[in-house]
Structure 1
């Protein structure tokens, strides 16, 4: 339960972080697919259209020219989706093209409609929704929010924030402000409340949703207007307790009840799939569904856990649920799901999430930092019930967690003994001083993030934690790192993100350290002592704006390094020479890192690259050469280039070009045809090409050169530098002709199979052909 908690699953998680984009229009026109697939494809097309539209708007704001074919595609998407929406509204899908809404949604349709009616009532400015944990309150309200956002005539803005059992007004204010695009220029809670209040009252009609309220909350203290303060502000409050709604002045809150047996079975069978019919008798599946107590969260968890499992798993689940009828159904369901996880790594990953504050967004970056995989700024969030169960499970498995994250504590939590704890998290509190002489012989994970920056460490704070393996101390102003760090001989991961750091040479004592992260800190130098960390696998120096010196051979000595994330502000790479002639790192040192697979760095000049290639083993990278990368941090395998095209032939840039998914070209010299000019074999993985100030460029690619643009989805240019070749246009016309012929053939097949379905498909097809 330490550094290797997620190492073996990090790669799997990473695979799911990058969704495919830019599917072709033909993806929609698949007439033989079943109705559910058809509906999903239309919805996917809508989503992709919206995503492309956002990119177009962002590009236009930057003064970029949008290619005509992009605008044509968006027009076609809008026409198709309009027809589809009209057909659904008029219920024109009949035989074979319609599908009934699941009863589980029908059962709550009435409550949903009453809530929407209440939002229209000028005499009602506050609505309460209550029900036990896991019954589906938040899911229902998210649909309310979506409906409100879709109807702009009712509300100008819709914002939602989580209050939680231990309210943190600063966090709530940030969550609302973020959705409004509001930036606070004051730090005090009251000052922020005034600014938020002023921003909310600027809007004539606004909907504010506050989820997970446990006790009465003073809305004005947060900055939320109510009642006479702003009659155009509607507030929806969600709580497990009806009394809380009464305390907030709501006379008749809406109650969300458990599902009926039929509704529960419908949801269960949908989540479990074909497993409810084979290989087990259906009555067994029905009984398992009943034991979930009608709670959607429990039903979903158990059904997914048992999907594709054999009869023995189902019978075991049924016995466990029956034997524990006095316990909460959701907790039982979660524990059952946890038991059936197929690997210890997945179990540990689940438990790790419980160390973060309740209802907090947990950055994938934070979770994967304990492994060696690349990452993006993505988040996960677990239900508060799920978090509580995870903590309970840890205790039952003799690895007790002390989790007081986000409790608003002023002092370190007092316990009779800390000996049983394997993990302690006091993140996001207001603690400013730590106790001395703690005996924590079994402690492996310690999270101290998010407390006062002036955190005070007693001289021997870490003395009794000799087995500590993971330590997070982000956001602390250190005059110097605590001397007692030297006692942590078994430490594997040290996170000092966002810290004020002067001297970190003491880390040389941490011989077993595998992960060191000082991202977003004010560190100025990596001292030579860093080279003693010969077991280091990941070094994160991103956003270290003041980093100017990396002592020579420090990087070369980190021979086990697998991931290196450099600040793009670091531009002091020096050319390899005699040792006494260098005062900073050289790119040649990267050749000593035979295990390096992930690299982020900026290289100010292509001439700094050595003769030998540095990049053959990279699987993920973000590298800029001659010019810094602009935007798109979430895209993997990014490459930004500025040099004369004759330069890279000796240094392996071609290796990166073959792997790049996003390529930026700036002021390239001697380049006429991008694909052929940079790499004659083409770019098999390229998805986005961004070209600016490359005045010699004439073609994106030329079909007569025998290469293709691979998976290229979009080309962005800042003027007339990039022109589509005639050969490219001819190829496009051929593809369009083939596409139309295929569409006509599919129409004929569909007409024979289903006249009603064919009618609507023909209508869509004609629109596509008209717009093509």
Structure 2
């Protein structure tokens, strides 16, 4: 704001000053002066300062007389075309007759075109408005349209007391800066906090306020003002699946991989009957995009973050819906919470991305209503045998990426309501108890572990739709053991596991995504020939074969997020074979060959 401060006094409150605001003001002026620009959008989450920037520009346009007039219209949350037309007409002192919106639009457009060189500001737009239907021409001669909305996040601000230098004691000033950081760039939160603490210099008051903010235990004013504004963004998510995805994201650490949200949606949809995975993934990506577009999630280099105050709002909604929860992710805890915190009415527990190493022997939380337990990205070494004994309603268990965990307790075998079990990335995990009683299981991920044999009872998991056993270096499959029973499987990743026969997978009529290695060349050719000649077969595949004498390492060409990409994974990899005569899929995209250094006859059958 320095340049503006030198030219003129501020007309409005200066609590949102700073270099970013100065930059945004300059951008606004550049766009207003650009003849080819007709519509200017100011977007960001609730409370970010959109209306303030628009108000400032309105004041400056009037002061500098850059345009003949500025017309401000606040668009109500429940607006209609008719109401908006009437509102604009009243401000412009135009009479609109009748109820026909098209005729009213013609009158309004004609009047606006007569009034050259004006700026029309539509503030707080919540959904798409067809400007032509309202009667706002998109190319008005010399006129500009400014719209504020919650479509994308916008960072601006540096806290100050109406632009004046701070006179707080140095200790208090340090705490105030920490509080600004806790608000993490959300101007609404800082604004309310600043008004609450204005004039207060006693350090114990500031320490108390910082402690409350650390715990997100905001006062009544911030609760009512901040969370109410943010709640409107959630309420505007009219689709239940989008709301569910948003609430689930509040249970995850920051930043979070997009894939975790995608797979949570996949889990929910798999419960509701048969749908194609590609369709499910497309829908899930659209849902996540909607959360980003509403500024409830922020995206940076494929990582998603949720603002702390937005998370607070989301957790409040979960509680309002009747679910009791314990969320302590990202808190660097080294021990699991005390048993007293595991109350009998708990339904959701998230302890993800902490540093938990110890679960004391004898720990057996009495949580008969617990449905979701997230313990991924910790350092757990040991889980007591009795730990899962009283969690009979558990449906989702995520222990992934606990790379010090070597074995799982037998109480896991009794979780008969479990639908999703994630153990991926537990690189030292050698023992998994029998899973045969977990017949509700839909998704099982034990990739990147250290198991030598598959868990017992997999042949009983007839409802399984997603199985990932990839990247277990020493895992040997016994042909005909459990795979023929999994006739409902849609996603099967056995990358790195050798020993697949055609008979193991030929009855998997719903298989869409497949990665694995066949026991010999004959089985490889038979499988490819069968899928070439049939109407079904995986749309995404990574098929491998290597001569049994070859002792080299596998290389993974399988992208686990392939369904979110336009590129289809259709790959074959053949390594060091003495005889090269293979049938190839018709839709093959990539063929990878590794051949020993000697002259060998090479032939491929393409029909």
Question: 2:324·2:348 contact (CA, 8 Å) conserved in 1?
Answer: yes
* Distance in 1 between residues matched to 2:57 and 2:461, nearest whole Å: 58
Question: 1:134·1:297 contact (CA, 8 Å) conserved in 2?
Answer: no
1:641, distance to aligned residue in structure 2 (A): 5.3
Match of 2:448 among 510, 514, 520: 520
Matches within 5 A, 1:590-601: 590-601=505-516
Match status 1:399 vs 2:193: no
1:349, distance to aligned residue in structure 2 (A): 1.6
2:466 is aligned to: 538
1:369, distance to aligned residue in structure 2 (A): 6.1
Q: 1:103 to 1:605 in 2, by over 3 A?
A: same
Match status 1:617 vs 2:536: yes
Match status 1:472 vs 2:275: no
What are the Cα deviations for residues 146-166 of structure 1, in whole angstroms up to 9, with x where unaligned? xxxxxxxxxxxxxxxxxxxxx
1:300, distance to aligned residue in structure 2 (A): 3.3
What are the Cα deviations for residues 373-408 of structure 1, in whole angstroms up to 9, with x where unaligned? 367996543333332222121111112331100101
2:352 is aligned to: 427
* Distance in 1 between residues matched to 2:328 and 2:58, nearest whole Å: 35
1:637 is aligned to: 569
1:432, distance to aligned residue in structure 2 (A): 2.3
Q: 1:417 to 1:523 in 2, by over 3 A?
A: closer
Question: 1:629·1:640 contact (CA, 8 Å) conserved in 2?
Answer: no
Where 2:540 maps in the other structure, the secondary structure is: strand
Where 2:434 maps in the other structure, the secondary structure is: helix
1:540, distance to aligned residue in structure 2 (A): 0.8
Match status 1:460 vs 2:373: no
Match of 2:53 among 259, 268, 274: 259
* Distance in 2 between residues matched to 1:369 and 1:545, nearest whole Å: 27
Matches within 5 A, 1:196-235: none
Question: 2:515·2:541 contact (CA, 8 Å) conserved in 1?
Answer: yes
1:485 is aligned to: 412
| Greater RCO structure (CA 8 Å; 6+ sep) | 1
Query: Is there any run of 5+ residues in structure 1 with no aligned partner, and where?
Result: 1-90, 109-131, 137-255, 303-323, 574-585, 672-676, 680-772
TM-score (norm 2): 0.54
1:495, distance to aligned residue in structure 2 (A): 0.7
Question: 1:526·1:550 contact (CA, 8 Å) conserved in 2?
Answer: no
1:614, distance to aligned residue in structure 2 (A): 4.2
Match of 2:235 among 339, 355, 359: 339
1:281 is aligned to: 84
Match status 1:446 vs 2:373: yes
Match status 1:589 vs 2:477: no
1:502, distance to aligned residue in structure 2 (A): 2.4
Matches within 5 A, 1:15-414: 98-99=36-37, 102=40, 104=42, 135=48, 258-261=52-55, 278=81, 280-281=83-84, 289=124, 299-300=150-151, 327=223, 331-364=227-260, 366-367=263-264, 370=267, 373=277, 379-414=303-338
Where 1:289 maps in the other structure, the secondary structure is: strand
Report how many aligned residue pairs link the two structures. Answer: 391
1:587, distance to aligned residue in structure 2 (A): 2.6
1:518, distance to aligned residue in structure 2 (A): 0.6
* Distance in 2 between residues matched to 1:282 and 1:325, nearest whole Å: 35
1:329, distance to aligned residue in structure 2 (A): 5.3
Question: 2:41·2:148 contact (CA, 8 Å) conserved in 1?
Answer: no
Match status 1:495 vs 2:422: yes
* Distance in 1 between residues matched to 2:494 and 2:513, nearest whole Å: 11
Q: 1:284 to 1:591 in 2, by over 3 A?
A: farther
* Distance in 1 between residues matched to 2:46 and 2:531, nearest whole Å: 53
* Distance in 2 between residues matched to 1:555 and 1:354, nearest whole Å: 37
Q: 1:95 to 1:430 in 2, by over 3 A?
A: closer
Comparing 344-353 with 275-284, greater Cα deviation is found at 275-284
Where 2:232 maps in the other structure, the secondary structure is: helix
* Distance in 2 between residues matched to 1:297 and 1:287, nearest whole Å: 7
Q: 1:282 to 1:335 in 2, by over 3 A?
A: farther
Question: 1:518·1:541 contact (CA, 8 Å) conserved in 2?
Answer: yes
* Distance in 2 between residues matched to 1:533 and 1:429, nearest whole Å: 32
1:555, distance to aligned residue in structure 2 (A): 0.4
1:636, distance to aligned residue in structure 2 (A): 2.8
Question: 2:379·2:405 contact (CA, 8 Å) conserved in 1?
Answer: no
Match of 2:343 among 396, 410, 418: 418
Q: 1:355 to 1:638 in 2, by over 3 A?
A: same
Structure showing the higher helix proportion among its residues? 1
* Distance in 2 between residues matched to 1:554 and 1:343, nearest whole Å: 39
* Distance in 1 between residues matched to 2:503 and 2:397, nearest whole Å: 32
1:468, distance to aligned residue in structure 2 (A): 0.7
Q: 1:291 to 1:570 in 2, by over 3 A?
A: closer
* Root mean square deviation of aligned Cα: 4.8
* Distance in 2 between residues matched to 1:630 and 1:416, nearest whole Å: 43
Question: 1:645·1:678 contact (CA, 8 Å) conserved in 2?
Answer: no
